[in-house]
Amino acid sequence: MKFAVIVFPGSNCDRDMYHAIKDVMRVEADLVWYENSNLENYDGILLPGGFSYGDYLRSGAVAATSEVMKQVKEHASKGKPVLGVCNGFQVLTEAGLLPGALMRNKNLSFMCHQEPLVVMNNKTPFTTGYEQKEVIHLPIAHGEGNYFCDEATLLELKNNDQIVFTYKNNPNGSIDNIAGIVNKEGNVLGMMPHPERAVEALLGSNDGMKLFQSMIKNWRESYVTNA
């Protein structure tokens, strides 16, 4: 399996993501600059955190219109995995790959600390390594992570089991404590907490490891014959 970490001007968690895949998971990964990129030879796409285009207009809005996102949409439409973390989640909602929007935190503060989360759906290709309802600890680092969608969309998210992670102690005002969701098909995950910053127990938590392990294991089982 080979991952592409998409780098936009203003991305700043790209190297953490690359480190998690390359050094901790020991799986191939490239940092891919957003311009003139070709994603054809990659199996998994990772949209990292940061402040693409300085969060101008709305966080993720400008990156969502970039050429590389057309390729990400195509990749997603083939059922291949796409993970967007933090700003990556914002880009996915702005690009229409995930429903809803991420708004300013309710308390207006940028928050950077570890939060307990509940795994609400362990059937997605990103979460099979976790127990259903398992409580995990991942760092958050955002000013605009307040997930919002209308009532009809929320009902749809619930009915389709698209809510993957919720906050135990909602830090930002997100509707229904939502921390991460998948698309209807289940192959595109967006989440505000940072699994790539939780891959070394020495640094506070390695609860993010199972997410990447799940992605890799599920990809190998579906795409590699005799795996």
Partner 1 sequence: MRKVTVFITLKQGVLDPQGKAIQESLNSLGYKEIQEARVGKYIELQVEEGPELEARVKGMCDKLLANPVIEDYRFDVEEAVRS
**Residues noted as catalytic:** 86, 194, 196
- From its phi and psi, is residue 112 left (phi > 0), alpha (psi between -120 and 50) or beta? beta
Give residues in contact with partner 1 (CB under 8 A). 57-58, 61-62, 65, 93-94, 99-101, 103-108, 146, 148-150, 173
- Taking the least distance from each CB to partner 1, the nearer of 136 and 140 is 140
Report the Cα 135 to chain-centroid distance in Å. 18
Least separation, in Å, of the C-beta of 178 and partner 1? 14
Return the amino acid letter for 184: K
Q: Which amino acid is at 25?
A: M
Least distance from C-beta 96 to partner 1, angstroms? Answer: 10
Pairing mode, if any, of strands 82-85 and 44-47? Answer: parallel
Give 146 or 187: the residue with its C-beta nearer to partner 1. 146
Residue 93 contacts residue 85 (beta carbons within 8 Å): no
Between 152 and 227, name the residue whose CB sits nearer to partner 1.
152
Considering the complex, state which of residue 62 and residue 163 has its C-beta at the smaller distance from partner 1: 62
Q: How far is the CB of 168 from partner 1 (least distance, A)?
A: 21
128 vs 24: CA distance, rounded Å: 19
Nearest approach, Cβ of residue 79 and partner 1 (Å): 25
Of the candidates 16, 96, 31, 27, the one whose C-alpha atom is nearest the C-alpha of residue 60 is: 96
Length of the chain: 227
